[in-house]
Chain A
Amino acid sequence: MKKNKLIERYSRNFNTLTEQEQSLLLKAKVCIAGLGGLGGAVTEMLARVGVGYLTLVDGDIFEASNLNRQLFSTEATIGASKASVALQRVKAINSDVNVTIYETFLTHENCNKILNGNNLVVDCLDSINDRFMLQKAAQKAKIPLVSGAIAGTSGQVTTIYPDDSGFELIYGKTTDTRYSEKGIESLLGNLSYCALFIASIQASETLKVILNRGNTLRNRLFIADLMTNTFDIMTLQ
């Protein structure tokens, strides 16, 4: 895009973001792991704010049960690949964003390759086991990870750098007898406004990490309960 049009596109980002910061964002490479309630919304926000390179990963297809919260699911996209619909959505919003999609679930075999070359990964997965796997890959790739999780009207966000203890501080050791793959979302479901709220905090953390600005949630956990309007930031260590 020509420079004038580029400045016009991002004009409402200024002056909260400077032109130099916008340039940094345009060069940033962010992987979004999981394209459900959190991942779809994070993708939409990062594309609009002007993150230049997005790697979008999900092996799932849209189902009717996604319509209550997942931004990219519509009656017309039921049965379609989440990653491929996300690609079309990003291109419709901002054709300057370079998008790579992986229509596959993350596995121990593929996650190092998928993260390779990215500056940051946003964890929007829906299984606690997979979150540990992603953290290990992010540590190996030496990149920060911004994690969000939701259940019902509750949610949490944290930012994990490669040397941090990360998920062990939140979910315990994977050998913990109290540990299970699914959290309480299997009982409570996930509501649209909670998914979008937590996704917003993740998008905000992503920008702050890329721009090295503001206060992040490193070694801290943002916890919200929208039913009681309880919002807190807890120190993890």
Chain B
Amino acid sequence: MIKIQLKMFATIAQYLPQYPDAFAVEEGTDIEMLISKLNIPISEVKLIFVNGRKASFDQLLKDGDRVGLFPPVGGG
């Protein structure tokens, strides 16, 4: 298992697990699998950042990664 840090914004914050700073996932987990494991409908995630850089749904997670998940924000 590896541990990652999760940051989830706005409507996605409701899916935040109990220990977001040390969330355990199996090695070989990618972002799409992570979203599924967190029970977030994939259509709700628009932007993904890993360690402060934009990432894609197929990016593999590494131990210690900081993952940010964001919904689309468009209000003015």
Binding site for B on A (CB under 8 A): 34, 36-39, 124-128, 131, 148-156, 169-172, 178-188, 190, 221, 223, 225, 227-228, 230, 232-237
Known: A151-B10, A178-B43. A185 touches B54 (CB 8 A): no
27 cross-chain CB contacts under 8 A: A38-B76, A124-B76, A125-B76, A127-B74, A128-B72, A150-B73, A151-B71, A151-B73, A170-B47, A171-B74, A178-B42, A178-B45, A183-B73, A183-B75, A184-B10, A184-B11, A184-B71, A184-B73, A223-B68, A223-B70, A227-B13, A232-B52, A234-B47, A234-B52, A234-B54, A234-B68, A235-B52
Known: A148-B76, A183-B72. A172 touches B46 (CB 8 A): yes
| Count of chain B residues with a beta carbon within 8 Å of a chain A beta carbon | 22
The 3 residue pairs across chains A and B that have the minimum distance between CB atoms: A185-B75, A183-B74, A126-B76
Known: A232-B68, A234-B54. A149 touches B74 (CB 8 A): yes
Q: How far is the CA of A124 from the CA of B7 in the complex (A)?
A: 26
B10, B52, B74 interface centre (most CB from chain A within 10 Å): B74
Contact A225 B43 (CB under 8 A): no
Q: How far is the CA of A190 from the CA of B74 in the complex (A)?
A: 11
Q: How far is the CA of A153 from the CA of B71 in the complex (A)?
A: 13
**B72: which A residues are within 8 A, CB to CB?**
128, 171, 179-180, 183-184
- Partner of B75 from A170, A190, A228, A232 at Cβ < 8 Å: A190
Contact A183 B53 (CB under 8 A): no
